[in-house]
Amino acid sequence: MMETDIQKRERRDLWVAIVIALFLGVYYLLFNIISSLQYISDQHAHWVSNMMFFWILALLWITYRRWRAAVHRQRELRNILSSISTEVIMVVDSCRRIQMVNESVNIFGFSPEEVVKKKTDLLYLDRRVDKDRPAEISDAINQVGFHIGQATGKKRSGETFPLEVVTASLKGREGVVVVIKDITERKHAEEAILQAKQTAEHANEEKSKILIQLNENFQKLKSLEALRDNLTHMIVHDMRNPLQVILTAAEVLEMFNEPKMNERNQAKIKNIVRQAKLLAAMVNSLLDVSRLENGLLPLDKKVYDLVLLSKEAVQEIEALSHNVQIIFDKPGSEFIVECDHDIIKRVAVNLLTNAIKFSAKGDKIHVAFSRADSFVRLMIKDSGPGIAPEYHEKIFEKFWQVDSSKRKQMHSSGLGLTFCKLAIEAHGGTIGVESELSKGAKFWFQIPVAGSASVTDTPVAAKSV
């Protein structure tokens, strides 16, 4: 991605400060030399000169730190834009000039260098849904934070093709984020289905079964499109808060950073890292769920003790569990399983994190193990509000959450339990929940017992909890 106008302006400010500092430095030296030659002892002139010199040095240092912070913010945003999606992602200013774009812009036949600083008209035409509302896009962004529309894309060769354009506000920066998706195949499929439907409607009774099947396929296609749209909305929405935290923390460091960093600034840095990990975890969960659904996530199975593996999961979420007490019911023996260490630990982390979110301060969370036939079972019990029986199956569906409107502080992507279910089933096991309203919840999973192979040492020695 090319250097933006903001970067160039900040780099220019840095060099202006350097030139001024050098000029005053030379002036300061010449003044002292001339004063010594002419035996000038004007103390006031010396004091003013010294103050100007040290003031410009301080200005130079502040400008340098601001430039470094701006470069860091730009790098973070560039890394996010280039890694989270294979679709075209752009940062556009208020004048519709492209400030930043990833490599996927080559679907238009242009390189990133060729479109930066150009207006979006180079790539696509108006994407409003209602052509009679000139301010439709800005109104939608102001009200809900994003706008979704369809546009006509223009390739370098002059060829046009349909696009879906998602525009979202970019907190902490001027302009918006634009996500562009080529929907040529979708349009062709919809047109083909509609054409087939029209043909079937004029056919005789012998073709009625074909019409019914086409209608069913059309509804399935609409459901898949709605699911994909919801996924796009979730990514746009959940990206904003971590990005805002990163930018806010960076600005605080810009203003208050000192040679010896104080505890408050150290906490801010830790918060930046934590929020960045949150964003990465959401994206990774999304990718892993997709790969598990398609059977494309390989499992590195080895033999482990499920008790030690679960204690590692507790250590990983130690920072979240300071308000609750996690109690391990002492197992009578080892519970040896053959599994993918990282995958099963993530399942345990997800279930423990879920229990912590729905527990009040001072509550206890019990972790127990048992063995039935050829399976080893892990159970995690909390004292939270519980889950109504009619939702016991639905909570494992993708993007499904219980009472999310009443628990805004517990908002999540709705992928955690979906990942757990797919991961356990990939190991040949089962997962479930036992719960009633106001009586807490008991999540459990079971996976097959390992054979006669020896136990593989876990990479982290689990401490007692």
Q: From first to last of its 465 residues, what are the pLDDT tens digits of the chain?
A: 444 555 566 566 667 766 776 776 666 666 666 665 554 445 555 666 666 667 766 777 777 777 676 666 666 656 655 555 568 888 888 888 988 888 888 889 999 889 999 998 899 887 777 777 878 888 888 888 888 888 889 999 989 999 998 888 877 667 888 889 888 888 888 888 888 877 777 776 666 777 788 888 888 887 876 776 566 556 655 665 665 666 666 666 656 665 556 777 667 766 776 676 666 667 667 767 777 877 777 889 999 999 999 999 999 888 777 788 999 887 777 789 999 999 999 999 999 998 998 888 889 999 999 988 889 999 999 988 989 888 888 888 876 766 544 444 444 556 788 889 999 999 999 999 998 888 899 999 999 998 744 444 444 333 333
The answer to whether 368 and 381 have CB atoms below 8 angstroms apart is yes
Residue 222: predicted pLDDT: 79
Task: Evaluate whether 204-297 and 301-448 have a shared fold.
Answer: no
Phi-psi group of 362: left, alpha or beta (phi > 0 → left; psi -120 to 50 → alpha; rest → beta): left
List the end-to-end C-alpha distance of the chain, in Å, as a whole number: 48
Residue-range domain boundaries for the chain:
5-83, 86-182, 204-297, 301-448
Q: Which residues of 276-300 are buried (b: 16+ CB within 10 A; e: fewer)?
A: bebbeebbebbebbeebeeeebeee
Q: For residue 101, what are the β-bridge partners?
A: 90
Q: Which CATH architecture describes the domain 301-448?
A: 2-Layer Sandwich (3.30)
Residue 308: predicted pLDDT: 92
Q: Which two tokens stand for residue 183?
A: 């929907």
pTM assigned to the model: 0.45
Burial of 323 from C-beta contacts in 10 A (0-12 / 13-18 / 19+): exposed
Q: Where are the alpha helices (DSSP H) in 294-396?
A: 306-316, 341-357
Residue 137: predicted pLDDT: 82
Burial of 258 from C-beta contacts in 10 A (0-12 / 13-18 / 19+): exposed
Alpha-carbon dihedral 293, 297, 298, 303, rounded to 10 degrees: -80
**Residue 253: what residue type?**
L
Q: Backbone phi, then psi, for 446, in 5-degree steps?
A: -135, 140
Residue 275's alpha-carbon distances to 188, 196, 245, in angstroms, are 40, 49, 7
Q: Which two tokens stand for residue 284?
A: 């990774």
The answer to whether 424 and 448 have CB atoms below 8 angstroms apart is no
- Which residue has 């505890």 as its token pair? 263
Pairwise CA distance, residues 71 & 53, whole Å: 27
- Which residue has 């890394």 as its token pair? 79
Q: Which two tokens stand for residue 320?
A: 């979240």
Residue 460: predicted pLDDT: 37
Pairwise CA distance, residues 403 & 437, whole Å: 12
Residues 230-250 have pLDDT tens digits of 665 566 556 656 656 666 666
Q: Which two tokens stand for residue 407?
A: 């628990």
Pairwise CA distance, residues 370 & 348, whole Å: 15
What DSSP string runs through 146-198? EEEEEEEEE-TTS-EEEEEEEEEE-TTSSSEEEEEEE-HHHHHHHHHHHHHHH
| CATH number for the domain running over 86-182 | 3.30.450.20
Q: Backbone phi, then psi, for 128, in 5-degree steps?
A: -70, 145
| CATH number for the domain running over 204-297 | 1.10.287.130
Residue 297's alpha-carbon distances to 83, 125, 285, 417, in angstroms, are 19, 39, 12, 17
The answer to whether 286 and 413 have CB atoms below 8 angstroms apart is yes
CA angle, 391 as apex, 388 and 396 as ends, to 5°? 135
| Residue from 114, 135, 16, 102 nearest 67 by CA | 16
- Within 10 A of 120 (CB to CB), how many other CB atoms are there? 18
- Which residue has 């108006």 as its token pair? 126
The answer to whether 80 and 243 have CB atoms below 8 angstroms apart is yes
- Which residue has 């889950």 as its token pair? 387
| Residue from 152, 158, 11, 137 nearest 70 by CA | 11
Q: At what angle do helices 263-293 and 208-256 cross, to 10 degrees?
A: 160
Residue 9: predicted pLDDT: 61
